[in-house]
Amino acid sequence: MNEESIEGHAEIAFRMLTLRQIERIHQASLDILERTGVVVRDATALALLKQAKASTDGERVRLKAHLVEGALKTAPHSISIYRRDGDHAMCLEGWNSYFGTGSDCPSAIDPDTHQHRPSTKADVGRITQLCDKLTNIDFCMSMGIAWDASTVTSYVHQFDAMARHTSKPLVYTANDVADMGDILALAEIVVDGSSRELEDRPRYIHYNEPISPLHHTPNGLAKLLFCAEHKIPMIYIGSPMMGASAPATVAGCVALANAEALSGLVIHQMKNPGAPFVFGADATLMDMRTAIFAYGAPELQIMNIAFADLAHYYHLPFFCIAGATDSKVLDAQAGAEMAVSLLVSALNGCNLIHDVGYLESGLCCSIESVVMADEIIDMVKRYRSGFDISAETLALETIDEVGPQKDYLSHPHTAEHFRKDAWYPKVFDRRRYGTWLEAGGESIEAPLRRRALKLLSSTEPPAFTASQIGAMDRILAQRG
């Protein structure tokens, strides 16, 4: 074996399901769609399905396998997402992984008083501005709810707050088609372009859900069809809970959630074949002791891996949960749940990894939790990157030069490589106990808060022209 034949780069990744198991789950989902069917509560979607010869009984629709296979053939295998200025940001395909926050937490930890309170539009803007500066956050969601805005238009205000505070791609939520229209109008102003510009170089992705089990709602379908028509990349996934809105078994929950996503894909592709669609599921268990949607449950990540295997089988971009915790504070539980979930999701090739920084099972957010997630993501990227194997990195000449019972500190090879192969934390503390105690003996929250505030103080929101600001303000004023 020559030297060149052993050189290369070792990367870490894994799957859970065999091909036979993937095909069995796929077939189970097809059986659900043909035997049990789904509820479709939208006249346009029903008309599309009837035209395709789907079996309909009022709003109950049963889908043959060929309709699913047809949708899988027309859906794009790769979706490119861009920054506000049009530069390429993310390629959603294969094993590429990107990390971002979540949306719609009803409460936030006040950065000044450190108390829980209802979240505001200012919180949405602040955390978005922080994410704009964090190098491991690739896309932003609102994190908070703009409770201080009209409840009718809070989603529009959340998009506005995000768009004004970052140049990174956004994943946004909306209540109805009226919101979708206003958000599209805001997006066109932000990029100083048109809907065609956003079709050619999409900056924003819409997040949407059916209601588990197997219920496509009027608002959900109207938004799905709007995205298909305008070629807005969209995530359409259920959030089933084992034992509550899905079977109490992992396999049954995965099969049902997969059926929900596939049936949404069918309707989406019937409306506009080739429109960009992101697959997945926010599936976990309902904790029978607390009735919560358990973000820290290992079953959530087991199902993430299964859905990742299905996404790779279908060649569809994939959206999943990681970096969230059921803990209320940044303690050992939070660190364990965030770290394990982020590592697993990155290793199984999830394309869009969202909800990083969620506290209290998705009910609370804070600037500190987002910085902690960023630190963990940085470490996870080091795990996934593996290491180079070459004559230079094997360092046989260096080992021979140093010999036994000596050290490598003064050798030129160390000076050249120690920054390349080693990860150093920005916030996590590696000092000895005495040194740490002399410096104040702080818990992790204090340095996280300092880093967050330092980044916020040095971050300038993206610049807008007076014309752009005026146009955005008029849209918000029209809706209230």
- Give the pLDDT confidence score for residue 12 in this predicted structure: 60
Predicted confidence band at 115 (pLDDT cuts at 50, 70, 90)?
very high
CB within 8 Å of 264: residues ≥ 6 apart: 210, 216, 224, 236, 237
Inter-residue contact 277 to 316 (CB < 8 Å)? yes
- How far CA 100 is from CA of 65, 125, 141, 323, 365, in Å, comes to 34, 15, 7, 9, 13
Q: Which two tokens stand for residue 357?
A: 């920084």
- Give the pLDDT confidence score for residue 4 in this predicted structure: 40
CB within 8 Å of 237: residues ≥ 6 apart: 209, 257, 260, 261, 264, 278, 279, 280, 281, 282, 319
Predicted confidence band at 150 (pLDDT cuts at 50, 70, 90)?
confident
pLDDT tens profile 116-128: 999 999 999 999 9
Mean pLDDT value of segment 416-427:
93
pLDDT tens profile 407-419: 999 999 999 999 8
The neighbour count for residue 399, using CB atoms within 10 Å, is 13
Residue 271 has pLDDT above 50, yes or no: yes
Inter-residue contact 350 to 304 (CB < 8 Å)? yes
pLDDT tens profile 361-377: 999 999 999 999 999 99
- Give the pLDDT confidence score for residue 460 in this predicted structure: 81
Q: What percent of the chain is modeled with pLDDT above 90?
A: 91
Residue 9 has pLDDT above 60, yes or no: no
Amino acid letter at 278?
V
- Give the pLDDT confidence score for residue 135 in this predicted structure: 97
- Give the pLDDT confidence score for residue 193 in this predicted structure: 82
Mean pLDDT value of segment 250-273:
98
Mean pLDDT value of segment 60-83:
98
Q: What percent of the chain is modeled with pLDDT above 70?
A: 97
Domains recognised in the chain with CATH numbers = 19-72 (no CATH), 77-249+264-385 (3.20.20.480), 390-421 (no CATH)
- Give the pLDDT confidence score for residue 360 in this predicted structure: 97
- Give the pLDDT confidence score for residue 102 in this predicted structure: 98
Q: Which two tokens stand for residue 255?
A: 């099969």
Predicted confidence band at 10 (pLDDT cuts at 50, 70, 90)?
low
Whole-number average pLDDT of the chain: 95
Residues shown for the chain = 480
- Give the pLDDT confidence score for residue 379 in this predicted structure: 97
- Give the pLDDT confidence score for residue 7 in this predicted structure: 57
pLDDT tens profile 20-45: 999 999 999 999 999 999 999 999 99
Predicted confidence band at 11 (pLDDT cuts at 50, 70, 90)?
low
Mean pLDDT value of segment 119-145:
97
Most confident among 312-326, 375-389, 455-469 (mean pLDDT): 312-326
Residue 19 has pLDDT above 70, yes or no: yes
- Give the pLDDT confidence score for residue 6 in this predicted structure: 45
- Tokens 């593996």 found at: 386
Torsion of CA 393, 399, 400, 403, to 10 degrees: 180
Q: Where are the beta strands (DSSP E) in 355-447?
A: 364-365, 387-389
Inter-residue contact 306 to 254 (CB < 8 Å)? yes
- How far CA 231 is from CA of 110, 200, 271, 276, 358, in Å, comes to 38, 9, 10, 6, 30
84 in helix, strand or coil? Answer: coil
- Give the pLDDT confidence score for residue 5 in this predicted structure: 39
pLDDT tens profile 390-406: 999 999 999 999 999 99
Inter-residue contact 254 to 240 (CB < 8 Å)? no
Separation between Cα atoms, residue 323 and residue 156, nearest integer Å: 26
The neighbour count for residue 115, using CB atoms within 10 Å, is 9
Chain centroid to Cα 424, Å, comes to 25
DSSP annotation of 34: I
Please write down the HEC assignment for all residues of 287-353.
CCCCCCECCCCHHHHHHHHHHHHHHHHHCCCEEEECCCCCCCCCCHHHHHHHHHHHHHHHHCCCCEE
Separation between Cα atoms, residue 81 and residue 85, nearest integer Å: 12
Residue 2 has pLDDT above 50, yes or no: no
- How far CA 234 is from CA of 284, 336, 429, in Å, comes to 21, 31, 40
pLDDT tens profile 277-286: 999 999 999 9
pTM exceeds cut of 0.75: yes
Inter-residue contact 329 to 289 (CB < 8 Å)? no
Separation between Cα atoms, residue 348 and residue 71, nearest integer Å: 24
Residue 47 has pLDDT above 80, yes or no: yes
pLDDT tens profile 302-361: 999 999 999 999 999 999 999 999 999 999 999 999 999 999 999 999 999 999 999 999
Residue 462 has pLDDT above 90, yes or no: no
- How far CA 49 is from CA of 33, 45, 46, 353, 453, in Å, comes to 13, 6, 5, 32, 52
φ and ψ of 211, to 5 deg: -105, 120
